[in-house]
Chains A and B, each alone.
Chain A
Amino acid sequence: MKRIQVNLNKDQIQKLALSTIGFFVLVYVYFSFFLGPLNNSRETAEAQIAEFQDKVAGAKNEMSKAANLEKQADASTKRFAALKALSPEGAPIAWFPPRIKAFFANQEIDKATARIETSVAFKEADLANWMRYNWAIELPQADFSTLGKAVAALENAEPLLAITRISIKALPEAPQFQQVTLTASTAMVKR
């Protein structure tokens, strides 16, 4: 192989060095100020696209889950609405005693009175919008058979009412009648 002899003078060496420096400057400028930012921008955009696509996919999944839940919760929603409808607007003390009085009057037990004893919030987090009211219901004169039917009807008509105490005492002056005190607790929507 023929060896190429290159004799460069001082001026040529300087120019060669200048060209080399120019090359490195060009490469540096190209990668730092042009290709680098462009690649960064592309990577950022691709990451954002992936993020949006994930979000959209997740959103579609979430929406289909919500639609399924809507179907599944149909019974619960109706039941919840029915239970909520048992608590009319207004303070319970305004509507509960008349309701009880009317109920027992319908059951042929007159002079029923209901008075509030206590009201407390439920401990359960799910019942944050509900309150427990304790009532004393007094029936000054009722015969046992009518009372039994009325109590059963009350328990059936008021699913959120639980009788926690019952006291039946015979009236000495009218042995066919009893004096009854019921302690009942009800769950009602907070108003």
Chain B
Amino acid sequence: MALHLNLLHEEILQQRQRQRDPLKIGMMVLGALGAVMLVYYLWNAYKVLEIRNRLDQAQHDWAKVEPKVTSAQKRSAELNGIISTTKVLDGIIDSRFFWGPFLEKLSRCVALNAQLSSIDGNVLDDGKINIVIEGLAAGREPRAAAEELRQLLLEQLGQSSYSQVKVEFKSLEDLDTIVNIGGSNMAMSRFAINATFATTAAKPSATPGPRVKTRGEPKS
């Protein structure tokens, strides 16, 4: 076996020590780790950029849509207001009491031997109608003539769509006056009839129709 002399032992040892320098190894490990982290960071930054682009696109979409939706919301609010106002106005229109049909019914009840001197009608707050009719009736039995008018009125109002119909005498008194009707003298009586009824059950047939322009009406 040949003798091998290592004359550079000190130098080799120093070189090995330099190679095993913990700081150098640590720096290398840190460098490698830093590189991995940098790559990971760049990858994340790329993804964030992509998301930012999507955000810009979404902002752009919203900017395009926002004015339209704002005006749509305004219009919706306006339309809802119109719908609810129209409903309320229709309610007011539908809850009206029509006097035309009532006056027609009343005219059918007045016989030749009766004369009405006044009619006072009121729509009460609860929706009921109160009417006071005053007049004169003539006949051999003037009270019967007045009663006939009352019963006819009760019948006429009961046949129509009114409910809770009440027709009662407020007063009925004989008069001393004699009246000549058709050549025969007849006694007279003065009466006051109070009629009340409700219109809640159904509405009379008269309904608001198309508006008719009247003479001298200002142009709207």
Contact = CB atoms under 8 A, between A and B. Distances in A.
Interface residues of B, number: 78
Contacts of A163: 96-97, 99, 123
Interface in B20-62: 21-23, 25-27, 29-30, 33-34, 37, 40-41, 44-45, 47-48, 51-52, 54-55, 58-59, 61-62
B47 A19 contact: no
A70 B59 contact: no
A170 B107 contact: no
B158 to A, nearest CB: 20
Contacts of B116: 168, 170
Interface string A129-163: 11000000000000011011101110111111011
Contacts of B48: 38, 41-42, 45
Nearest to A125: B84
A49 interface: yes
Given A55-B62, A160-B93, A168-B118, A98 B218 contact: yes
Contacts of B9: none
Given A49-B54, A151-B103, A164 B22 contact: no
A111 interface: no
Contacts of A77: 79, 82
Given A88-B219, A102-B215, A160 B22 contact: no
B118 A169 contact: yes
A52 B26 contact: no
B207 to A, nearest CB: 8
Contacts of A80: 82, 85-86, 89
User: Is chain A's binding surface mostly helix, strand, loop or mixed?
Assistant: helix
Contacts of B30: 19, 22-23, 26
A157 B86 contact: no
A166 interface: yes
Contact of A99 (B65, B72, B209, B218): B218
A125 B75 CA distance: 19
B214 A155 contact: no
A157 B41 contact: no
Contact of B76 (A58, A65, A130, A159): A65
Contacts of B123: 162-165
A66 interface: yes
A152 B206 contact: yes
B41 A34 contact: yes
19 contacts: A12-B22, A13-B22, A15-B23, A16-B22, A16-B23, A42-B48, A49-B54, A52-B59, A85-B220, A99-B218, A103-B214, A149-B100, A152-B99, A155-B206, A156-B208, A156-B212, A158-B211, A165-B121, A168-B116
Closest 4 CB pairs of A and B: A19-B26, A152-B100, A15-B23, A102-B216
